[in-house]
Structure 1
Amino acid sequence: MPSIHRLSDLLVNQIAAGEVVDRPASVLKEVLENAVDAGSRAIEVQLEQGGVRRIRVSDDGCGIQQDELALALERHATSKIASLDDLERVGTMGFRGEALAAISAVARTTITSRAEGAGHAWRIDGDSGELTPAALNQGTVVEVADLYYNTPARRKFLKSEGTEYAHCDEMFRRVALARPDVGLQLSHNGRVVHRLPPGEPIRRVGTLMGDDFLEHAREVRAEGSILSLGGFASLPAYSRSSRDAQYFFVNGRYVRDKLLTHAVRQAYTDILHGSRHPAYVLFLELDPAGVDVNVHPAKIEVRFRDSRAVHQFVFHAVSRALAESGAGRALDEPLYAETSVPAQSVQPAAHSTAQTPSPYGRPPESAWNRPPVQGQLAMDSASRAYFDFAASARPAPAGAGADAPRPSSAPVAPPPLPSGDNGAPLGYALAQLHGVYILAQNANGLILVDMHAAHERILYEKLKTVLDGTPAVQRLLIPAVFSVSAKDMAAADECADVLSRMGFEIAPAGPQELAVRSVPALLANAPVAELLRKLLEELREFPASDVVTARRNELLATMACHGAVRANRHLTLPEMNALLRDMEATERADQCNHGRPTWTQLTMSDLDRFFMRGQ
């Protein structure tokens, strides 16, 4: 058997590089984060051949002292933490002190830096460790060339230039979205791709995500005593076939966390088709002591101290932002206007210990106190106007004489909108099309409504409101006994209060058996064992389970679908107008329970363009 021996420092660093540096984008991430932590206000990134040939990052940060340059290339050498307390409250992007050492072990690395107050800059070569004077106005320049030149086996796993550049571009976007206060520029093979001046967060989001995203997004703003959430979440109409437009940041750090992803996805449950994915840019701020960022070598995953509270906070904040229906918004209000958690339900943040506060702060007081738009109208005056119009267009009775008044052959003008039309975003009904669609007129033009889908959403939301109180409980004549795993037994014991509030009465019936004595009345006919096993699995995986709510909502959705008006059901004008008013007062009325749209708008500009008026 071979004897035990110490590995060389170079081999140790090359092994570490396998965890930290798997492609050029990983190098760019580490160097960019160091530039941000240095307090830079302007950062320039230059790439060649997708970053494989060369990565150059220059910043105007605080710089590195001459006697610390050599130390910066050693493993576990950092200026960002010094004690366990610092590790538990990390407020910087980097902190491990491994990145530069790992990078220099697999690429030709040079660092040129001029610290504040220094007479000139110094350059260090990562291979030889040679330190020489250099010319630089301010900050630091890190150059990484020929990635994996000394480990050809690793280089074979790199993809094409276009693919590697795409990963670098994505990494650049993440940092740029997180820090709109920092100016950034990215160039590839001598061509400038992104030039992002510092500015307002909404401008940075619009530049990188596209104005189309902002036009179809709601602003998310929520603050609690120790948590705050800001950013933008897209409406279902902007859904995508992949998750390529989902950005979640915790204290300015981009993360891929399944708990946060689950919370956001649950907020879209009733309004997004199952095969589609939402787009969002969200920023969660909390005390650094409440989140552990030291759980993944690439710092891409985190763990929360109170995951239940974080999950529920994110879920409710996004759900409230999406709940307001576009059908109930003022006609001149932009789609991405401010939405917020009601002021009485949250407490202002006492303090924030994160070094980089979120750019998405508390909304203006006027936004917090804005009353909801209900879209009320005087139904009598609206109906009277349309009935007068219908009477004027009705043909004369068959038995009328020659002297009987005839309808005028002149074109009949459409009825004027009743006064106060700005309070009715969906306008007033004109007619029904093939017994399926409602045609309505508002100040902007023509509204088309799928009456079955719209009525289905209205009934569904009303049923949920009725049943959101204490659930009715159905006691079982014979307790349902089923076997479970040891993990499920522990989850049932830990979450007994949660299960009780849901309407389940559960007790141990053996070492690995549970007995169910009561279930929610609405789920009395559901398979108890299957439901409880899935519920306990969810409770182990996520701090707040939605299994029972989801099953209940499935039943309510079925009830609403069967109770909604059907196609070819002829509605009167008052009935159509009543449906429009209910849509304006109903949350999530833009989509039916299956995620399909319920209405659309054709503006006068759209119609004029189609008929080439004015051309």
Structure 2
Amino acid sequence: MNRPNRNIRPEIRQLDEAAVNRIAAGEVVERPASAVKELVENALDAGATRIEVDYADGGKTLIRVRDDGCGMAGDDLPLALLRHATSKIDGSDLLNIHSFGFRGEALPSLGAVGRLRIVSRMAGSDGATIAVEGGRMTPVRPEAAQYGTVVELRDLFHATPARLKFMRSDRAEAQAIADTVKRLAMAEPYVSFTLSDVSDGDSRSILRLDAAQGALFDALEERLAAVLGREFTENALRIDTEREGLRLTGFAALPTYSRGAAVAQYFFVNGRPVRDKMLLGALRAAYMDLLSRDRHPVAALFITCNPELVDVNVHPAKSEVRFRDPGLARGLVVSGLRHALAGAGHRSSSTNTGAMLGAFQPAAARTYQMDRPSGAARATAYQLQAPQGMAESAGFWDAGATMAARSDTAPDIPAPPPSLAPLGAARAQLHENYIIAQTESGIVIVDQHAAHERLVYEKLKRLRAKNGVPSQALLIPEIVELSATEAATLLEIAPQLAVLGLVVEAFGGAAVILRETPALLGAIDGRALIRDILDELADQGASTGLEARIDAVLSRMACHGSVRSGRQMRPEEMNALLREMEATPHSGQCNHGRPTYVELSLADIEKLFGRR
């Protein structure tokens, strides 16, 4: 960068309106998806119940948003294209905001960098249109139009061609547009959305979402199933909790239904989609000891509160928010999710069953449709098919077949009734590692080591919560030099750290003294641990690093203290393990996030044999 010459006095000049709008557009409209977001939010603020979005060439040459909202009168159209002109607020209270938009910058910014045309009609007036290109506005003209508004943006960034060099491929920009519409659709389940690609004159439907019906939770579940897939809602828990004026609702997936990247984590604050670092950190903390490091939770969570408790005016794109009490919001997310996950008990993802069925290879190339035979017919068939002498083996054949093969004087040997317990009754152990249990409607296959590892781990955590983490005093306390701000931040959470076995005290000035460390961690670098805690506090507003290290030690202890693979178990031991799993939270997955059992229904088994 060339530095100015000190001997030459730079002239201060006021930028013209066109330059000001182009600069503002750089903050508000980063890419075509940003323009779609602003226009769809305007439609929602207008009370639209049906919104149609068309784009061409990834939104670079055309973006069109049509809605059935309240519309605008012809006299309002020129005003709508002026900067800081809005119908959302009156400017007297910037905290009590109930709408998506409130800055009055979107339309003039779009008109400054593209060719913008608006057609609108409101009840009781005729339709009208206005256009603006490169900041130059045309007069308002009458136009035949339906009720509502159509905003058409062509040749985005034609007035600032340098911005086009920073655009990604048409496919990538189209994907960003689809993601934007999906996020807004998740926030508004009672609104219909249509997204179409009209490149090359052809209209290709990308997304079609009909307005959901019913109560809020049912409507939200229907919309999330349409956007994220039915598998998500089938494997997600309903969240509904409240604390001190903040309410958390939505759906959070089971730990065994996770993703390889953080691409399916959605937060909404008062209906506004946000990408807030603090909230995402709270989501990770809630699943901290339920997922391995390379897996990420899936959730769609909604926080509603009085608008005065949250500031949405902290980012030009309004994608970040600032809570008046960030600790309260973070605690609500962490505790609400942990409570729901604990309440799920031993439940595991149904996708594990699908993966298991996919792993089976059918023995025959063709399958045949057959009716399921009755019990008597099945018994007769077994008798006829049994090899000589095998019908007498009650341990192998069905009790009905055994009775038919024996004489009338032979005693009955009834088959054991299927257990009514969720995880059934143990019937066998395979390869000294997998327990086969029979349920009322199918079978369950349990990984004995993974299941017992989670049970031991949860028991160790309960002991830690009851008795605290034992600490060991340092022979020579360690003095750590910090900045004044860092020292104050660390000492503020010193009581919580002491519960985890880390005792830190003020030492004078900006230094702290480390007197005790958690005994479970053994010899550690106390200075590095404190630095890690401070870094996490600065990044997320809270620190779970120390607790995560202690949990990792407990997890290793649980792994070494659990039933090992290869050990034969007696029937009573297997059944005791099943009953304890049913009574223990999070027992559906091991300490590393893998499932502890898979379940096959009788219908699934019959499909494998071509009976369905």
What TM-score do you get using the length of structure 1 for normalisation? 0.83
Q: What SS class does the counterpart of residue 346 from structure 2 fall into?
A: helix
Of 233, 237, 240, 1:218 maps to 237
Residue of structure 2 in register with 1:314 after alignment? 333
Secondary structure, counterpart of 1:126 in structure 2? strand
Matched, 1:459 2:456: yes
Query: Measured at CA, do residues 589 and 313 of structure 1 come closer, stay the same or move farther in structure 2, by a change above 3 Å?
Result: same
Checking the alignment, whether the CA contact within 8 Å between 2:82 and 2:108 is kept in structure 1 is yes
Cα distance, 1:325 vs structure 2: 4.3
Instruction: Check whether the contact 2:444–2:600 (CA below 8 A) recurs between aligned residues.
Output: yes
Query: Whole-Å Cα distance in 2 between the matches of residues 416 and 324 of structure 1?
Result: 34
Measured after TM superposition, the shift of residue 524 of structure 1 is 5.8
Q: Partner of 1:299 in structure 2?
A: 318
Matches within 5 A, 1:485-500: 485-500=483-498
| 1:194 aligned partner | 207
CA offset at residue 568 of structure 1? 1.5
Q: Against the structure 1 CA distance between its residues 60 and 441, is the aligned structure 2 distance closer, same or farther, given a 3 Å change threshold?
A: same
- Determine which of 263, 266, 287 is the counterpart of 1:268: 287
Amino acid at match of 1:108: R
| Aligned with residue 94 of structure 1, among 101, 107, 115 | 101
**1:174 is aligned to 2:172:** no
Conserved 8 A contact 2:345-2:585: no
> Is 1:106 equivalent to 2:119 in the alignment?
no
Q: In the aligned structure 1, how far is the partner of 2:344 from the partner of 2:569?
A: 23
Distance 2:347 2:221 in 1: 24
Q: 2:530 aligns with which of 532, 552, 555?
A: 532
Correspondent of 1:448 among 435, 445, 450: 445
Please list, as runs of the form range in 1=range in 2, the aligned pairs for 1:42-441 lying within 5 A after superposition. Answer: 42-85=50-93, 87-118=94-125, 120-127=126-133, 128-189=137-198, 190-199=203-212, 200-325=219-344, 327=346, 408-409=392-393, 411-413=396-398, 416-418=415-417, 421-422=419-420, 424-441=421-438
Provide the secondary structure at the position in 1 that maps to 2:341.
helix
CA contact (8 A) 1:217 1:233 kept: yes
Give 1:172 shift. Answer: 0.8
The 3 A distance-change label for structure 1 pair 409 and 318 is: closer
Q: Distance in 1 between matches of 2:65 and 2:210?
A: 17
Assess, with a 3 A threshold, how the Cα gap between structure 1 residues 258 and 510 changes in structure 2: closer, same or farther: same
Output one character per residue of 1:430-485: Cα deviation in whole Å (capped at 9) or x when no partner.
Answer: 11111111111112222111111100100110111111135245444442222223
User: How far is the alpha carbon of 1:151 from its aligned partner?
Assistant: 2.3
**In structure 1, what is the Cα distance between the partners aligned to 2:92 and 2:604?**
62
Query: Deviation at 1:502?
Result: 4.1
Q: Which runs of 5+ in 1 are unaligned?
A: 336-405
Q: Secondary structure at the match of 1:7?
A: coil
Which residue of 550, 555, 575 maps to 1:552? Answer: 550
Q: 1:290–1:305: 8 Å Cα contact kept in structure 2?
A: yes
Alignment check: 8 A CA contact 2:27 2:316 kept: yes
Q: Distance in 2 between matches of 1:159 and 1:539?
A: 35
Compared with structure 1, are the counterparts of its residues 541 and 497 closer, same or farther at alpha carbon in structure 2 (3 Å cutoff)? farther
- Once residues 26 and 407 of structure 1 are traced to their aligned partners in structure 2, the CA distance between those partners, rounded to angstroms, is 73
Contact residue 112 and residue 141 of structure 1 kept, 8 A: yes
Q: In the aligned structure 1, how far is the partner of 2:598 from the partner of 2:444?
A: 6
Cα deviation digits, residues 356-399 of structure 1 (max 9, x gap): xxxxxxxxxxxxxxxxxxxxxxxxxxxxxxxxxxxxxxxxxxxx
Comparing 447-456 and 51-60, the one that deviates more: 51-60
Equivalent residues of 2:432, 2:566 under 8 A apart: yes
1:14 paired residue number: 22
> 1: distance between equivalents of 2:416 and 2:241?
38
Contact 2:342 2:586 in 1 (8 A): yes
Q: CA RMSD in A?
A: 2.5
Inter-partner Cα distance in structure 1 for 2:563 and 2:96: 57
Matches within 5 A, 1:502-521: 502-521=500-519
Q: Partner letter of residue 126 of structure 1?
A: V
Whether the 8 Å contact between 1:446 and 1:603 is mirrored in structure 2 is yes
- Alpha-carbon separation, structure 1, partners of 2:31 and 2:537: 37
**Alpha-carbon distance in 1 for matches of 2:483, 2:422:** 54
Tell me how far apart the structure 2 counterparts of residues 206 and 540 of structure 1 sit (CA, whole Å): 36
Q: CA deviation at 1:326?
A: 5.8
Deviation at residue 538 of structure 1 after TM alignment: 2.7
Change (3 A) 1:325 1:526: farther
In 2, the alpha carbon distance for the partners of 1:570 and 1:497 equals: 46
Contact 1:325 1:587 in 2 (8 A): yes
Distance 2:517 2:166 in 1: 54
The CA deviation at 1:5 is: 1.2
AA aligned to 1:134 is E
Number of equivalenced pairs:
539
Amino acid at match of 2:246: L
Residue type at the aligned position of 2:513: A
Shift of 1:521: 4.6
TM-superposed CA distance for 1:417, in Å, is 5.0
Distance verdict in 2 for CA 1:162–1:541, change over 3 Å: closer
TM-score by length of 2: 0.83
Counterpart amino acid of 1:110? R
Q: How many Å apart are 1:11 and its aligned residue?
A: 1.1
CA deviation map 1:103-161 (0-9, x unaligned): 0011111112223332x011111133311111223121111111122222222332332
Identify which of 38, 42, 49 aligns with 1:34.
42
Deviation at 1:418, TM superposition (A): 4.9
Deviations along 1:82-121, one digit per CA (max 9) or x if unpaired, are 2352x11222111111111110011111112223332x01
Q: Deviation string for 1:400-437 (max 9, x for gaps)?
A: xxxxxx99346443874558x33x11111111111111
Deviation at 1:553, TM superposition (A): 0.9
Query: Residues of 1 paired with 2:460 and 2:498: CA distance?
Result: 22
**Following the alignment from structure 1 to structure 2, what is the Cα–Cα distance between the partners of residues 39 and 564?**
58
CA distance 1:409–1:430, change in 2 (3 Å): closer
Summarize the Cα distance change of 1:527–1:159 in structure 2 as closer, same or farther, 3 Å threshold.
closer
Measure the CA separation in 2 of the matches of 1:324 and 1:433: 30
1:16-49 per-position Cα deviation (integer Å, ceiling 9, x unaligned): 1111112211111001001101111121212222
Question: Is the Cα contact below 8 Å between 2:347 and 2:588 reproduced in 1?
Answer: no
3-state SS of the aligned residue for 1:6? coil
- The equivalent of 1:387 in structure 2 is none
Residue 389 (structure 1) aligns with:
none
Q: Distance in 2 between matches of 1:535 and 1:156?
A: 41
Correspondences of 1:579-598 after superposition (within 5 Å): 579-598=577-596
Does the 8 Å contact 2:289/2:548 carry over to 1?
no
Is the Cα–Cα contact under 8 Å of residues 73 and 127 in structure 2 kept in the other structure?
Answer: no
**Residue identity opposite 2:157 in structure 1:** Y
